[in-house]
Structure 1
Amino acid sequence: MITSSLKPILVVEDSVEDFTALGRAFRKQALANPLLRCEDGDQALEYLQGYGKRAGWPLTLPAFVLLDLNLPGTDGRTVLGILKQDPQLQSIPVIIFSTSSNTRDIEECYRLGANSYLTKPIEYASLEEKARLLVNYWLGTSELPPLS
């Protein structure tokens, strides 16, 4: 079982249905890491910039962030740009997980510092496969920075 020291995985996703399906797909991979959800970009920034300062929030930064682009309030592009310019947060891997396969969105996200870009699949079996690949690569293969 892959744990990456049980650092949480932060999913920034406004759709309850998408988050529920993703959680199910991760559980199928025996992911032991806590799965956290922020419903919009503002909540994600508040959590990441203030981790450990609020009751009930983990004391550690996430192993990686799965970030939707089209969010209410502050959108995913803005969140990505802020994270990658913050010296305390810039080394957290940010994986864009969006329905958009627009080449301009993909190029802009990499320009802003995204570590990976995945298009959300329509079929659940494809979502399970992407969850398997995420867990195996980001928690099992990749050497992640030692964040507090």
Structure 2
Amino acid sequence: MEKKIILLVEDNLDEEELIKRALKKGNIPHEIIVMNDPVEALDYLFGTGIYSGRDLRIMPKVIWLDLNLPKMDGLEVLRRLRENQRTKLVPVVMLTASNQQEEIVKNYGVGANSYVRKPVEFSEFALLVQQLAVYWLQVNQTPPVLIL
């Protein structure tokens, strides 16, 4: 059976905890891998750095990527994912507080599969997380992992 992995790239520990709680409350079968550092997330996905030798046949079904990250913003992470043959088809959901049209256009232009504004209210945020999980883990059909 295929693992239903969400890779969450989020530097805000409070939001990370809220997402984990919402997923648990939603009782949606999943495994969540959290990376607080975008460079480490890229190492994980590409099997480099401390993740060299990782089984690259096991990839997330979806990446939830915060737009505002330290060291490298989410848009740059997305660019690198889309440039790489192995990760260019992995669905990426951009999570942000911004609702600026310019940002939305930029993210879709680079290859985001979805752009989602994080609600401020916890109950709305929890519902959104659960809806995203159901859609990306249970409804959406993803292409097979490319083995290079």
TM-score relative to the length of structure 2:
0.89
**Structure 1 residue 109 and structure 2 residue 107: aligned?**
yes
What is the CA distance between 1:142 and its match in structure 2? 1.1
Gap regions ≥5 residues in structure 1: none
Residues 7 and 61 in structure 1, CA contact (< 8 A), matched pair in contact too: no
Q: Once the 2 structures are TM-superposed, how far is the Cα of residue 91 of structure 1 from its aligned partner?
A: 0.7
Pairs within 5 Å for 1:1-148: 5-50=2-47, 53=52, 60-147=58-145
8 Å CA contact 2:4, 2:137 repeated in 1: no
Which SS does the other structure have where 2:33 is aligned? strand
Structure 1 residue ranges, 4+ long, deviating more than 4 angstroms after superposition: none
CA RMSD, 1 decimal: 2.0
Q: Percent identity?
A: 32
1:73 corresponds to which letter in structure 2?
Answer: K
Provide, for residues 33-90 of structure 1, a one-character-per-residue CA deviation record: whole Å limited to 9, x for no partner: 21111112211111111176357x8861101000001100011010001101111101
* 1:10 aligned counterpart, secondary structure: strand
Give the residue type in structure 1 aligned to 2:24: R
CA contact (8 A) 2:45 2:56 kept: no
Q: TM-score, normalised by structure 1?
A: 0.89
The superposition leaves residues 79-108 of structure 1 with CA deviations (integer Å, 9 ceiling, x where unpaired) of: 001101111101100000111111111110
Gaps of 5+ in 2: none
